[in-house]
Chains A and B, each alone.
Chain A
Amino acid sequence: MPAMLEIADLRKSYRQPDGGWHPVVDVPAFSLAAGRQLALRGESGSGKTTFLNLIAGILTPEAGSISLDGRNLAGLGEAARDRLRAEKIGYIFQTFNLLQGHTVLENVELGMAFGRGVDRARAESLLERVGLADRRRHHPRQLSTGQQQRVAVARALASRPQLVLADEPTGNLDRRNAREALALIREVCRENGAALLLVSHDEDALGQFEDVQDFAALNQVMAK
């Protein structure tokens, strides 16, 4: 299967209060094939979120290349990276990050608003798929945490992304809800043909994946 995501010599550091630079990510090579579902195991502070933000184009690396569907993010301006993220990447956050002023349906529509445009029928069908069709007029605060995560899943898949990034997606859920949410994320990604890259430190969550890698082995900063 061709690689949908290819990373080479990726490095990122943060400036410290004392003026020095603290390396966070140093990944010599990484690739993810289209449709593959991979879980990365990593402790808090290991640079997992930074790694995902670099892939999403939210952060810019100091060095290295990130090739997404054949396009190198390093060669793109911020606006082009925004566009690429809107069209090709779905992002699921630990804290869901739903907009409280918008309804459930509007939150899902936001997932496609900045890319190919809003398709209400698709948003409604995704809500039906995650079991929230009857809650589409509700606001996020009116939902349980498990339901909010399902809205976040629907939003991440709304733009028909080729890659879904999931950052500790079950961190705020109890065990039963966490298992249901993960199963749902994996199913929906599979149905939509999207690759899934999940990072977590939760062994129960990681245990549901056949394909698990240690982020510490990938990130040379941790090895050092």
Chain B
Amino acid sequence: MIWNLIYRSLRQHALSTLVTAGSIALAAGLLLTVWVVKTQSQAVFASTNSGFDAVLGARGSKLQLVLNAIFHLEASPGNIEAKDFEMIRRHPAVRAAIPIALGDNYYGWRIVGTVEQLFTDIEYVPGRHYATAPGGRWFRLGAREAVVGSYAAKQLGWTVGSTFKPYHGLAFDPKAQHEELYTVVGVLEPTNTPVDRVIWIPLEGVQTMSGHNPLAATELSAVLVQLRAPSAGLMLDLMINKQGDRLTFAYPIGTIVAELFNRIGWVDRVLTLVAWLVALVAAGSVLVSIYNSMSARQRDIAILRALGARRRLVFGAVLGEAAAIGALGSAAGLAVFMVLAATVTSIIRAQTGVVLEPLKWNPVFWWGPAAFVGLCLLGGVVPAVKAYRVSVAETIAPVS
């Protein structure tokens, strides 16, 4: 019976039900999006290392070095010399050392010089090597050839055989085009990592590009390092960071990325706070919406009571109505979440190459809606108490 009463009341007050549920849907969608993007991006970014344990670069910020060399964001803190690369490459604790050099772009898409071993020797996640899409191959040393990340190729509309002339600098400047013409010889299969956003060319291509400083032709932006054992990282950290003063050894990458989230943690705390405030306002709107209609409903409640409905039934029916509005809003909030999360995910992918999976199970998918239903239940308590206290005799008919 109580479900029938709840359904009838929701139907009778359809407009206010929809408006209130709509405000809850926006709040729920916002909260779910903030929470899912926050937790998943922290996890995904912290585990994104493109198969490397550390980065060697010029003296400066470890975070800047990692963002530059692994995530292909930010500017390089400076160049290192070829002898530094040789030092790390020959170190017995190092399994692989891949040099990278950058300084050019194509319409803002970053061009990075490297060696073929990045694609052939490195597993970007355990058990997975880079691969080119059918018809492609790796670039040849000394040739003006490029291998393009899948996302960049898709956005630029490039396939094998496409040609381009790089632009100088990390930011696009139409007046700074180089003379060299490069040909795309391979498009990488998607890796869902920042590598997908990069145009890869042979290392010496960046180093000797027309207009670049010929004195820096052997310099590198960074070296991506794979260690033989984790303990070697601590040893190299001591040797390079604490005892040396020219270089930075960024290790371990996951911890350094986590530091980034600590620094920007206030952003998601503010967003989460905003989402909860919106939720509180939505719960308040449930209270106001039901409470305002109580005057009109008092007569209906008195009639139900006169027909034998118990006080606790009408109390429960009003609470149930509030909970139902919360449940409706939360369900619609999932749809809002899908739209918001898809938008945010595509922005993150476009900016970083990192792919989030917003629909992957997250505990917020149960506790978020439950919290909203709970808040709405709280909002329903005051009108429910009012319903509970309705005086049948005084409401239903004048005393005669």
Contacts from A to B (Cβ < 8 Å): 14, 24, 42, 44-50, 53, 56, 58-59, 78-79, 82-83, 85-87, 91, 93-95, 97-102, 106, 110-111, 113-115, 118, 155, 159, 167-168
- Of B12, B306, B308, the contact of A101 (CB 8 Å cutoff): B12
Residues of B295-336 at the interface with A, using a CB-CB cut-off of 8 Å, are 299-300, 303-313
Q: How many angstroms between the C-alpha atoms of A113 and B3 in the bound complex?
A: 12
Residue B11, interface by CB 8 Å: yes
- Of A14, A101, A167, the contact of B300 (CB 8 Å cutoff): A101
**B8–A102 CB distance below 8 A:** yes
Residue B393, interface by CB 8 Å: yes
- Of A42, A49, A85, A95, the contact of B399 (CB 8 Å cutoff): A49
Q: How many angstroms between the C-alpha atoms of A46 and B400 in the bound complex?
A: 6
A51 and chain B: residue at smallest CB distance = B400
Q: How many angstroms between the C-alpha atoms of A177 and B5 in the bound complex?
A: 31
In the complex, what's the smallest C-beta–C-beta distance from A173 to chain B, in angstroms?
Answer: 16
Q: How many angstroms between the C-alpha atoms of A184 and B9 in the bound complex?
A: 31
Chain B residues contacting A100 (CB-CB under 8 Å) are 12, 300
**Assuming A58-B392, A106-B8, A114-B1, is B308 touching A44 (CB within 8 A)?**
no
What number of A-B contacts does a CB cutoff of 8 Å give?
A: 95
Q: How many angstroms between the C-alpha atoms of A115 and B392 in the bound complex?
A: 18
Q: How many angstroms between the C-alpha atoms of A84 and B319 in the bound complex?
A: 25
**A79–B399 CB distance below 8 A:** no
Chain A residues contacting B299 (CB-CB under 8 Å) are 97
B312 and chain A: residue at smallest CB distance = A79
Q: How many angstroms between the C-alpha atoms of A50 and B392 in the bound complex?
A: 12
In the complex, what's the smallest C-beta–C-beta distance from B83 to chain A, in angstroms?
Answer: 85
Known A-B contacts: A91-B307, A159-B308. Give 15 more (CB < 8 A): A44-B400, A58-B306, A59-B393, A78-B310, A82-B309, A82-B311, A83-B308, A85-B307, A101-B11, A113-B4, A113-B307, A118-B1, A155-B307, A167-B397, A167-B400
B1 and chain A: residue at smallest CB distance = A113
Give 5 A-B contacts (CB < 8 Å), ordered by A residue.
A47-B399, A50-B399, A82-B311, A97-B303, A114-B304
Contacts from B to A (Cβ < 8 Å): 1, 4, 8-9, 11-12, 299-300, 303-313, 392-393, 396-400
**A93–B307 CB distance below 8 A:** no
A48 and chain B: residue at smallest CB distance = B400
**B8–A115 CB distance below 8 A:** no
**Assuming A45-B400, A49-B400, is B8 touching A97 (CB within 8 A)?**
no
**A168–B400 CB distance below 8 A:** yes
In the complex, what's the smallest C-beta–C-beta distance from B318 to chain A, in angstroms?
Answer: 14
B304 and chain A: residue at smallest CB distance = A110
A53 and chain B: residue at smallest CB distance = B393
**A82–B308 CB distance below 8 A:** yes
**B306–A97 CB distance below 8 A:** yes
In the complex, what's the smallest C-beta–C-beta distance from B315 to chain A, in angstroms?
Answer: 12
**B400–A82 CB distance below 8 A:** no
Chain B residues contacting A49 (CB-CB under 8 Å) are 393, 397-400
Q: How many angstroms between the C-alpha atoms of A7 and B398 in the bound complex?
A: 23
Q: How many angstroms between the C-alpha atoms of A46 and B398 in the bound complex?
A: 12
Q: How many angstroms between the C-alpha atoms of A101 and B9 in the bound complex?
A: 7
**A97–B1 CB distance below 8 A:** no
**A97–B310 CB distance below 8 A:** no
**B399–A115 CB distance below 8 A:** no
**B300–A78 CB distance below 8 A:** no
A168 and chain B: residue at smallest CB distance = B400
Chain A residues contacting B398 (CB-CB under 8 Å) are 49
Q: How many angstroms between the C-alpha atoms of A95 and B300 in the bound complex?
A: 13
Q: How many angstroms between the C-alpha atoms of A48 and B397 in the bound complex?
A: 12
Chain B residues contacting A101 (CB-CB under 8 Å) are 8-9, 11-12, 300
In the complex, what's the smallest C-beta–C-beta distance from B176 to chain A, in angstroms?
Answer: 71
Chain A residues contacting B303 (CB-CB under 8 Å) are 97-99
A44 and chain B: residue at smallest CB distance = B400
Cβ-closest 10 pairs across A and B? A86-B308, A114-B308, A101-B12, A49-B400, A97-B303, A82-B310, A58-B392, A113-B1, A85-B308, A53-B393
Q: How many angstroms between the C-alpha atoms of A168 and B304 in the bound complex?
A: 20
Chain B residues contacting A167 (CB-CB under 8 Å) are 397, 400
Chain A residues contacting B4 (CB-CB under 8 Å) are 106, 113
Chain A residues contacting B8 (CB-CB under 8 Å) are 99, 101-102, 106
Chain B residues contacting A110 (CB-CB under 8 Å) are 304, 307
Q: How many angstroms between the C-alpha atoms of A97 and B307 in the bound complex?
A: 10
Chain A residues contacting B310 (CB-CB under 8 Å) are 78-79, 82-83, 114
| Most chain B CB atoms below 10 A, which of A47, A58, A95 | A58
Q: How many angstroms between the C-alpha atoms of A101 and B299 in the bound complex?
A: 12
| Most chain A CB atoms below 10 A, which of B303, B313, B398 | B303
Chain A residues contacting B300 (CB-CB under 8 Å) are 99-101
In the complex, what's the smallest C-beta–C-beta distance from B394 to chain A, in angstroms?
Answer: 10
Chain A residues contacting B304 (CB-CB under 8 Å) are 99, 110, 114
| Most chain B CB atoms below 10 A, which of A110, A115, A159 | A110
A101 and chain B: residue at smallest CB distance = B12
